[in-house]
Every structure is written in C-alpha cells, then in structure tokens.
Amino acid sequence: MKKEEEFMLEAIADAKKNKHHFGAVVVKGEKIISKAGKRPVGDPRYHAETQAIMKATKKLKSKHLKDCVLYSTCEPCPMCFYMAWITHIPKIVYGASQKDAIKAGFEEIDVDDKELDKKSGNRIKLVKGVMKKECLELFEK
C-alpha cells in the first residue's frame, strides 16, 4: 500500500468514526499531526480541512505548515484551499472531487483545485483521485 493510500485511509476512518461525510489529516514526514471530520455541528466554518489545519498549526506552534501534506477525502473548497495556501502547505492529496460532492447534493462552489492553484501562483502540488471510490462511499451516509 502506498503512503498516500495509508494516510487517506486515516482520513476516511476518522470521518466514519465521527459519522461525517468528510475527513482530513495533516501529515509531517511519516507522522499524522492532526485529524478532523466536519465539526462542531452547525458551524459552517469548520470543514474537515480547516479543522485539521488549525489543529496542526496549534500542535506545531507555527502558522506555517511548509513540511506538511494535507490529505482530504474531498477536493478542498475555496475556503479550505485558501487555508492550505495561507499556511504554506506544499501538497494536497484528495479522493472525491468538488463535482462529485455537488452531484451528491452538497452545497459547494464549483471551482476546481487547478483553477485555485493557478490563481494563487501554482504553489501547491495537487494529487487527486486517491481512493476515490472509498471517499465517495462517505457521501452515501
């Protein structure tokens, strides 16, 4: 199993454990720094990615996550992409796409990661479709 799949499994497992449709983990080297499903309930700012990023900055006592990778079960929305960008995360790995989320009935802005990365100076390496089938299963709950 590839490292990307191993860490994506952690994001999927955390989403399932917390009965959420989305999960994310921040990894530094080979170590998971933070995990987060979408919580707390009722607060739209707390997407899995934003939670994982905020937890990682707090744990590492740094506003920058230059040596970290964000793994997300879904392509980050513009808000989550910005959080990764502003904290200098160099790589995002995700499973399902924004179009998949929209098709499943989630309220999302239809802007893909390539467009966001282009407009932000192409600072983030993007790896899509990792364990997509398993990530899409989270939408079925």
State yes or no: is 137 an active-site residue. Answer: no
Q: Pick the catalytic residue: 6, 49, 108, 137?
A: 49
- The Cα–Cα gap between 56 and 62 comes to 8
Task: Give the helix/strand (H/E) hosting 105.
Answer: none
Q: Which of 66, 49, 35 is nearest to 113 (CA)?
A: 49
Q: Which residues are catalytic?
A: 49
